[in-house]
Chains A and B, each alone.
Chain A
């Protein structure tokens, strides 16, 4: 239909040009206006969609740096926003140029289907067993039993070390549980409702989901399988009544670079009568606020994590702890670090108490190079019937070493074997029974960090006056400063300001969600083997523990500097200390969400269609969304310019500008370009409402023209020569359309076709408050002088335009200049510049052979423009 309309119009215009028919009737003007409005509308929408697409792409690229956390819903949203807006661009392009670029739809569909395939993929479990005994588990079964139990299976079955007997309730069981009675669907719905507000509603969403899980029945097949495994375990078990340690063993839980440290529930000393209740609690802990926050921060999808549950015969420990096979705080240190306390190892892991540290060298004798024996005033022990209890340690042994030297070496020796087996530093949990038997309860990869120590030349003495604490435990290396924020209750979590220094009494896993948002962490209690320390290291947040009376030492809001490697806290912000920074961590890299976004982005981000002049610049060659946007953007601008070029109009449908005198400027109002109806054949400047046209005109009349420049030698001959070739240039034989200037305007839009002197230029501008839609295009062509001189002038104008922020290119004797997406004020200034140049570059091709003249005019023109923009000239004609 547009096509027929424009054909009709062209015919009308053509006839008009032939002077056969005098006027367009009112209906035709109405049609022209409507055509314009439709195209103008689509063009604006297209530019908005283009900007939106590019913004989303920038967001994706930023996410792919891997520093900031993002979730699956971010991936969905970012990819979705790109798809929708690219699709919008195609639709608007179809309105502007119907049936011209149909292949775009096919390109879009094939790119979209590749992205869909990535976003909709699901993994299938092949092993459908609900319960598997520990004796038959190896590390090849990660998918089925979770990382923690798969690794422990290796320690037991391949390394033949002592591990308590037990079994695992598998991923298949978890799937069965969640799919019974639509539980998973309901969980998905709750997440969806929370949407992007999840951060704020974390506690609410978490408790809703956990209640759902706790209220559900454990399906009968799982009950039967567990009963069966438990009976077999009991038959083999020697000792007093069998109790179980029930531990989470989730997917991804113990993977390298994401330990989910302490996020999930583990229950110790569980009586079998309580088992299924505890089982559900462990499943529910997948949705604890810490776990959800951690998942978001590390980029796991809900469906990426199956909650397998390990059940081991409970070891009644007299002492226990964690071995690090290397120094987690310093990659260059290969000593073995043994953290140990009285009672169950839980006390070390929970970080609510101090513990002994034994450091062992990897030499022949396993020399103990360091023994820090602390006052272990509290310990965790098994409670008689069920569960365990935090209790005061017998005063007579609280300050004694919790390990003998021979046990220290035995542990160190086993640790080295385990590390050699995995070929990676390990974090190993262990327990010792009354009779001295060592049991291994867990082994997972240990993340090591680079130490950040001050340059040797830095004299720390300078800051001694600001030192408020020293001798703390370096739980996570680095230095940082920020305002103090003390947290003692859960409600404080909500108030925690981004970038504050978190100060707590105990290094509890509860505080884990705050760590990623904190500048640094200070705790009165806890050691570097605790969960919170793990989390801090994982996110690269400096942390100092063992800061006695920290809660009284600093005030809320007070600025402090935490130098974890020195174990020191300073008052204020100590710049030289803050300069020792580690390379930025990229916790997202390697996570399933990250991989997904990276793969999807390959169909979105790369730009293959670069050169619009190339023969490959075709819709069917678009292989990414970026290609499509690039193609459409280029073509839409061309099509819009064509509107001005294709639709010449008669002076009867337009008005002549009356500025002091009737001018050779003709104006067609396309929409709301006049302040009111104009019935006269002249339109006055004050009748015009077109914002871009008024700005252009202001520049045009700002400074009077000095008249044609004096010609350099040869200039005139050339003009005379070319004038004989081109009738349009010969005075007296001009056609009706030569040397006239045509504006088509609406309030925020204006095109100009202008023939001034011996050159031809077109300008198109769209300017409104909506910066993203703003557009200014300028084309300049020809001249009376020879090609060299014309080109000289093109380069001259190009240089000026670039100086004021235009993007320009020259093709043959065409100069093309553009500005997009800047604010209104900026755009209007550029329009003034174009107005000024339109007048003042007349016949400048004449002097292009003389560099002195060129320099003179370059200086004059830019001087004028600067003055004009500074407001020193206003309508000085």
Chain B
């Protein structure tokens, strides 16, 4: 298990949330488990990081003042469609969630997030990214 974990977790995750307590606590938990974690307190800061230091997976809060989670998601995908985005939300209309899922968010997690579930989701999102990249290299085009 231990080896398994170390092998799988050496990639970069960007955590975007305006709520500092949640952001820092979650970042710490992820770092302890071997992830490289970048954090941003809003959409604009997140986009800068996506440009300058691209992560593999983004954890993105839906409800943020300023640039909203959905807008941020769209902008990230525009910069780099291969980056997988997991949305986090407190309490939202499902309409919105389903729209974003159709547009290609990896998944939607409801806060408070169980850390184990979050870890699995990050790993799964990363696995998908690798699959898609591998498929692109081998010349396939299926989603």
- Known: A193-B90, A197-B112. Contact between A769 and B127, CB under 8 A? no
Q: Which of chain B's residues has its CB closest to A197's CB?
A: B112
A529 to B31: give the CA distance in the assembly, Å.
56
Known contacts A73-B91, A192-B63: A88-B127 contact under CB 8 Å: no
Looking at A74-82, A142-150, A498-506, A582-590, the stretch in contact with chain B turns out to be A74-82
Q: How far is the CB of B73 from chain A (nearest CB, A)?
A: 15
Residue of B nearest to A27 (CB): B138
Known: A41-B128, A76-B91, A83-B97. A1 touches B141 (CB 8 A): yes
Give the CA-CA distance A80 to B92 in the complex, in Å. Answer: 8
CA distance A76 to B94 in the complex (A): 8
Report if A740 contacts B (CB, 8 A).
Answer: no
| Cβ–Cβ < 8 Å partners of B135 in chain A | 34, 38
Whether the Cβ atoms of B101 and A87 lie closer than 8 Å is: yes
Contact of B107 among A2, A41, A88, A770 (CB under 8 A): A88
Q: Is A646 an interface residue (CB 8 A)?
A: no
Q: Write the nearest CB–CB distance from A205 to chain B, whole angstroms.
A: 13
Using Cβ atoms and an 8 Å threshold, which residues of chain A touch B134? 34, 37
A30 at the interface (CB under 8 A from B): yes
Contact B94 A195 (CB under 8 A): no
Known A2-B142, A37-B131, A770-B120; contact A195-B95, beta-carbon cutoff 8 A:
no
Known: A38-B131, A197-B112. A45 touches B124 (CB 8 A): yes
Question: How far, in Å, is A482 (CB) from chain B's closest CB?
Answer: 28
**Cβ contacts under 8 Å, A769 to chain B:** 1, 4
Cβ-defined contact, B124 with A112, below 8 A = no
Q: Does B108 have its Cβ within 8 Å of any Cβ on chain A? A: yes
A224 at the interface (CB under 8 A from B): no
Q: Which residues of A contact B120 (CB under 8 A)?
A: 48, 770
A526-546 residues with Cβ-Cβ distance < 8 A to B are: none
Looking at A80, A81, A112, which has the most chain B CB atoms within 10 Å of its CB? A80
Per-residue CB contact flags for chain B residues 1-33 toward chain A (1 = under 8 Å, else 0) read 100100000000000000100000000000000
The CA-CA distance from A770 to B143 in the complex, in Å, is 26
Contact status A195-B111, CB under 8 Å: yes
**Cα distance, A119 to B93, chains bound together (Å):** 9
Q: In the bound complex, what is the Cα–Cα distance between A770 and B116 (angstroms)?
A: 10
Interface residues of B in 14-68 (CB under 8 A from A): 19, 63
Nearest to A45 among chain B residues (CB) is B124
State in angstroms the CA–CA spacing of A34 and B19 once bound together.
40
- Whether A84 touches B90, Cβ cut-off 8 Å, given contacts A41-B131, A48-B120, is no
Query: For residues 96 through 118 of chain B, which have their beta carbon under 8 Å from a beta carbon of chain A?
Result: 97-98, 101, 107-108, 110-112
A interface footprint on B121-143 (CB within 8 Å = 1, 0 otherwise)? 00010011001001100101111
Residues of B within 8 A of A115 (CB): 94
State whether A1 and B140 are in contact (beta carbons under 8 Å apart), knowing that A84-B97, A195-B91 are contacts in the complex: yes
A residues in contact with B107, CB < 8 Å:
84, 88
Distance from A395 Cβ to chain B, minimum over Cβ atoms (Å): 56
Q: In angstroms, how far is the closest chain B Cβ from the Cβ of A38?
A: 6
Known contacts A48-B120, A81-B110; A34/B138 CB under 8 A: yes
Q: Are A77 and B110 in contact (CB under 8 A)?
A: yes
Partner pick for B98 among A5, A84, A195, A196, CB 8 A cutoff: A84
B94 touches A30 (CB 8 A): no
Do A87 and B98 have beta carbons less than 8 Å apart?
Answer: yes
Chain B contact patch, size range? 20 to 34
Closest to B92 in A: A80
CA separation between A770 and B101, bound complex, in Å? 24
Across the interface, which residues of B come within 8 angstroms of A116, CB to CB? 94-95
Residues in B whose Cβ lies below 8 Å from that of A770: 120
Which of chain A's residues have a CB closer than 8 A to the CB of B95? 116
Whether A1 and B142, one on each chain, are in contact in the complex, defined by CB atoms closer than 8 angstroms, is yes
A77 to B94, CA, bound (A): 9
| Nearest CB in chain B: distance from A56 CB, A | 10
A-chain residues with CB within 8 Å of residue B94 when the two chains form the complex? 76, 79-80, 83-84, 112, 115-116, 119
C-alpha spacing A109/B134, complex, angstroms: 33
A80 CB to nearest B CB, Å = 4
Q: Collect the chain B residues with CB atoms within 8 Å of residue A197's CB.
A: 112
A195 to B97 alpha-carbon distance, docked (Å) = 17
Q: Does A579 contact B (CB under 8 A)?
A: no
Complex interface: chain A residues within 8 A of B141 (CB): 1
List of B residues within 8 angstroms of A88 by Cβ: 101, 107
Please name all residues of chain B whose beta carbon is closer than 8 Å to the beta carbon of A95 when the two chains form the complex: 143
A80 and B110 within 8 A (CB): yes
The answer to whether A31 has its CB under 8 Å from any CB of chain B is yes
Is A41 a contact of B101 with CB atoms below 8 Å? no
Contacting pair B91 A192 (CB below 8 A): yes
Q: Which residue of chain A has the shortest Cβ distance to B19 in the bound complex?
A: A193
Chain A residue nearest to B104 in the complex (CB)? A91
Please state if A196 and B101 are interface contacts (CB–CB under 8 Å): no
Q: Which residues of B contact A34 (CB under 8 A)?
A: 131, 134-135, 138, 140
A86-123 contact mask (Cβ, 8 Å, vs B): 1 or 0: 01100100010010000000000000100110011000
Q: How far is the CA of A475 from the CA of B14 in the complex (A)?
A: 56
Known A-B contacts A84-B97, A84-B108; the reply to A196 vs B90 at CB < 8 A is: yes
Chain B residues near A76: list those with CB within 8 A.
91-94
Residues of chain A lying within 8 A (CB to CB) of residue B112: 195-197
- The one of B97, B127, B131 in contact with A80, judged by C-beta atoms closer than 8 angstroms, is B97
Q: Are A83 and B98 in contact (CB under 8 A)?
A: yes
Q: Mark B66-95, 1 if CB is under 8 A from A, else 0.
A: 000000000000000000000000111111
Q: How far is the CA of A192 from the CA of B93 in the complex (A)?
A: 12
Task: Among A45, A81, A192, point to the contact of B90 (Cβ < 8 A).
Answer: A192
Interface digits, A324-336 against B, CB 8 Å rule (1 contact, 0 not)?
Answer: 0000000000000
A242 to chain B, nearest CB (A): 46
Closest Cβ of chain A to B110, distance in Å, is 5
Bound together, the chains give a CA A77 to CA B97 distance in angstroms of 12
A196 and B92 within 8 A (CB)? no
Cα A195 to Cα B110 in complex, Å, equals 10
Separation of A195 and B120 alpha carbons in the complex (Å): 23
Question: Closest residue to A95 on the B side, CB-wise?
Answer: B143
Scan residues 1-41 of chain A and give those whose CB is less than 8 A from a CB of chain B. 1-2, 5, 27, 30-31, 34, 37-38, 41
What is the CA–CA distance of A88 and B127 in the complex, to the nearest angstrom? 16
Q: Given the complex, which residues of A lie within 8 Å of B63, measured CB to CB?
A: 192
Listed residue (A2, A44, A76) with the most chain B CB atoms within 10 angstroms of its CB: A76
CA distance A749 to B49 in the complex (A): 37
- B140 closest partner in A (C-beta): A1
Give complex CA distance A44, B112 in Å.
24
> B97–A31 contact, CB under 8 A?
no
User: Which residues in chain A, 727-785, are within 8 Å of chain B measured between CB atoms?
Assistant: 769-770
A786-823 with Cβ < 8 A to chain B: none
The docked-state distance in angstroms from the alpha carbon of A195 to that of B61 is 13
For A191, the closest partner residue in chain B by CB is B91
CB distance from A500 to the nearest CB of B (A): 25
Give chain B's interface residues, CB within 8 Å of chain A: 1, 4, 19, 63, 90-95, 97-98, 101, 107-108, 110-112, 120, 124, 127-128, 131, 134-135, 138, 140-143
15 A-B residue pairings within 8 Å (CB atoms)? A1-B140, A2-B142, A30-B138, A34-B138, A37-B134, A41-B127, A76-B94, A84-B97, A87-B98, A95-B143, A119-B94, A195-B91, A196-B90, A197-B112, A770-B120
In addition to A1-B140, A37-B134, 13 A-B residue pairs with Cβ atoms within 8 Å of each other are A2-B142, A34-B131, A41-B127, A79-B94, A80-B94, A80-B108, A84-B97, A119-B93, A120-B93, A193-B19, A195-B112, A196-B112, A770-B120
> Ordered nearest first, which 6 A-B pairs have the shortest CB separation?
A195-B90, A1-B142, A80-B94, A73-B91, A84-B108, A83-B94
Taking Cβ atoms with an 8 Å cutoff, the residues of A that contact B are 1-2, 5, 27, 30-31, 34, 37-38, 41, 44-45, 48, 73, 76-77, 79-81, 83-84, 87-88, 91, 95, 98, 112, 115-116, 119-120, 192-193, 195-197, 769-770
